[in-house]
Chains A and B, each alone.
Chain A
Amino acid sequence: MGTGHRTLVYLLTFWVILTLNFLLPRLLPGDPLAALLDPSSSDYVYDPEVRAALAAYYGLDRPLPEQYGRYLLGILTGDLGRSIRLNRPVAELVAGHLPWTLLLVGTALLLSSGLALLAGTESAWRRGSWADRGLVTAGILLANVPVYFVGMMLLLLFGARLRWLPLAGGRTPFAQYPSALAAALDIGHHLILPALTLTLAMVGAKFLLVRNATVNMLGEDFMLVARAKGLPEGRLKWGHALRNALLPFVAHLAAHTGMAVTGAVFIEALFSYPGMGRLIFESVTARDYPVIQGAFLVVSAVVLTANFLADIINLHLDPRLRERGVER
C-alpha cells in the first residue's frame, strides 16, 4: 500500500464522518434540528437573529440531497453554522479553542514519548529487576486508570492542597501582559497541570509498548553479533536495541494520538482549560447542536490527519511496509 492508496482511504474515512454528521440528526426520530425552529418545542430558539441564521444554514425545508450539497459546500468554505448559546459563528469558536488543545496534546505527546522511550529501554535492559517490576506495575496502573481520576488527584494535590499551581483556565483572566515572555510564562504556568495529567495518562501504555518491543529485540541475533564485536553497553542499548524497537513505537503513534485527544477532552472539562474539550463540555450542557457538530468534525479531522501523518512516517521508516502492504 503506497502513499496514494493511504490518502484515498483517509479521504474516504473523512467522507464517512462528514456524512454521519449530516445524517444522524436528520434521520433520527424527533428531529432535534427541526425542534430548534419549532415554537411548540422546548428547544425552540427565541432569538430571531439566531433562528434565521440556523434556518438558513440547515435549510430543513429543502430536499435532503440539496441540504447535503449545501452542507458540504458550507464546510468547504469554512461555514460550520452559528452557535445558539453564544450567537457567534461556530468556525470562529473553533478557531479560538483549537490552538489550546493542540498545545496541550502536543506537549503531552512529546513528554510522554520521551519518558516512555527512556524508561522503557532501561526497564527492558534490566528486566526482572525490582526497578523493572516496579515500572511495569506502575505502567499497567497508569494505562488503565481513567484519565479524569489522574487529573483529579493532581488537581487536589498541587492545586488545592499545596496551592502551587492554578486550578483552572488557560491563562490568568483579564491579564495585561507587559511582554510576550510574560504571556508565555503565564500560559506555561497554566499548562503544567493539564499537560502533566495527559502525559501520565499516556505514558503507561507507551512505556509497556517500548519495553516489550525492546525485550523482543534483546534475543535477536544482531544483538549477539553487536555484543560479540565488543560494542560498548550504551551503543548496544540505544543504538541497537532501542533503535529497532522504535518501529512498533512509531506504528502505534496513530493510536496514541487518538488516545491523547480523547484524554484531552476529559482533562479540559476537568481543568476548565479553554480547548475543544471545554467547548464540547459547555455546548453539551446547553444542547448547542451546531457547536457540538462543528467540534466533532474538527476533532475528527485532527485525529485523522495525525493518523495519516503517523502512517506516512511509518511508511518511510520501514521499507517492508511499502513492499508487502501492512501485516495485520
Chain B
Amino acid sequence: MRRLGGEVWFGLILLTLCSAVAVLAPVLAPYDPHAFSGQPLERPSRAHPLGTNDVGQDILSELLYGARVSLIVALAAGSGTVLLGLLVGGMAGYAGGWLDQALMRLVDGMMSLPRLPLLILFATFLGSGLPQTIAIISLLFWPATARVVRAQVQSVRQRGYVRMARQFGAGHPYVFLRHILPAIGPLVAYGLVTSAGHAVAMEAGLAFLGLGDPLVKSWGLMMRFALNLPGLFLTDRWLWWLLPPALSVTLLILALTFIGIGMERNLNPRLARRWR
C-alpha cells in the first residue's frame, strides 16, 4: 500500500472519533436523550453544555446518541447497496450474454429514474422507521455499484489464471469466490465507503424533510426540530442547536469521502497523477 495522504488520515481520525462517540454514548452523554432533563430552550450552562431543545431534552446527549444512528445507517445501507450491486453486477459480468444485457438494461433504467422524488414517495408509503429508511436507500443506490462491479468482473473473467482454473474443471461458484471476488475486493471496499457517505447524507436529508423515524434521535431530526422553531435565526440559539448536528453530519460525510478518495488513488494510480 502506498503512503496514505493527509486527507485520508483526516478521514480515518474523524471516523474513529465518531465511532468512539457512538460506542461510548451512554458513558459520555450527561442525560438520557429522551429524558426531559431541563426547562425548554435553556441556554448552554454547566448542567447542559449545549442547552436544551424545545421540549427540554439535553442537546449534547442527543448529539452524542445521534452518532449511533448515522453510523448504523452508514454501515447497514452502505453494505446493502454494495451487496445488491455485487450480486447484480457480478452476475451480469460473470454470466455475460442475455442475462448481462437484461440486467444492464435494468441498471440503465434505474439510473435514469429521478432518485430523490422516488425516495420521498417510498418513504411516504413504506413508513418512516429506520429499517425502512435503510432498505429504501439500498434499493435506490445499488445500480452505480453494479455497473462498476460488472466492468471489473468482465475484465477479470478473461484473465489467464481464471480461464486456466476453469479449464482444470473448477466450478463457477469456486471460481467466483476464489478468484473473482478477491480481484474485485478493493473495488467493493471503495464502493462500501462511498455508498456509506451517500447513505448518511440521504438519511439525514430524509429526517430533515420529516420522513425519518420520529422516535430515533438522529442528527437530521435534530436539524428539523431546530428549524421548526419560529424565529430560530433571530436569536443565537442556532449556534448550539442547529450548528452542532449539521456540522457532525457534514464531518462524517467528509471523513468517508476523504477515505474514499485515498482508496480510489490506490485503485487507480493513473488517477493519482491526474490530481497532482
Interface residues, chain A, with chain B CB atoms under 8 Å away: 9-10, 12-13, 16-17, 20-21, 24-25, 28, 32, 128, 136, 140-141, 144-146, 148-149, 152, 155-156, 159-160, 167, 212, 215, 258, 261-262, 265-266, 269-270, 280-281, 284-285, 287, 289, 292-293, 295-296, 299-300, 303-304, 307, 328
Contact = CB atoms under 8 A, between A and B. Distances in A.
Contacts of B28: none
Given A145-B250, A156-B233, A266 B209 contact: yes
Nearest to A262: B116
Contacts of B112: 9-10, 13, 304, 307
A148 B246 contact: yes
A13 B109 contact: yes
Given A215-B274, A258-B114, A284 B209 contact: yes
B233 A159 contact: yes
Contacts of B210: 281, 284-285
Contacts of A28: 125-126
Which are the 10 A-B pairs with shortest beta-carbon distances? A303-B114, A160-B233, A262-B116, A144-B257, A284-B210, A299-B117, A149-B250, A296-B121, A296-B117, A300-B114
A32 B125 contact: yes
Interface stretch (B83-91, B154-162, B175-183, B197-205): B197-205
Given A156-B238, A261-B114, A265-B116, 13 more contacts: A16-B109, A17-B113, A24-B122, A140-B261, A146-B204, A149-B250, A152-B243, A152-B246, A156-B243, A295-B117, A296-B120, A300-B118, A303-B114
B192 interface: no
Interface in B211-235: 211, 223, 227, 233-234
B124 A144 contact: no
Nearest to B126: A28
B3 interface: no
Interface-centre pick from A136, A280, A287 (highest chain B CB count, 10 A): A280
A148 B210 CA distance: 14
Given A146-B253, A148-B223, A281 B209 contact: yes
Interface in B74-118: 108-109, 112-118
Nearest to A153: B246
Interface-centre pick from A25, A32, A300 (highest chain B CB count, 10 A): A300
12 contacts: A144-B197, A148-B223, A149-B250, A152-B243, A262-B115, A265-B120, A269-B208, A281-B209, A284-B120, A284-B124, A292-B121, A307-B112
B254 interface: yes
Interface-centre pick from B117, B124, B125, B227 (highest chain A CB count, 10 A): B117
Contacts, number: 110
B276 to A, nearest CB: 6
B209 A289 contact: no
B115 A258 contact: yes
Contacts of A128: 276
A292 B126 CA distance: 14
A266 B242 contact: no
A160 B118 CA distance: 34
Contacts of A295: 117
B275 interface: yes
Interface in B160-206: 197, 201, 204-205
A159 B114 CA distance: 32
Interface-centre pick from A21, A141, A152, A155 (highest chain B CB count, 10 A): A152
Contact of B208 (A21, A160, A266, A303): A266
Nearest to A12: B109
B249 interface: yes
A21 B121 contact: yes
Interface-centre pick from B118, B124, B204, B247 (highest chain A CB count, 10 A): B124
Contacts of A140: 257, 261
Nearest to A145: B250
Contact of A144 (B246, B247, B253): B253
A296 B117 CA distance: 5
B205 A136 contact: no
Interface-centre pick from B108, B116, B242 (highest chain A CB count, 10 A): B116
Contacts of B124: 284, 287, 289, 292
B185 to A, nearest CB: 24
B238 A146 contact: no
Given A17-B113, A156-B238, A269-B208, A146 B120 contact: no
A300 B122 CA distance: 14
B209 A265 contact: yes
A50 B33 CA distance: 40
Nearest to A264: B116
Contacts of B227: 270
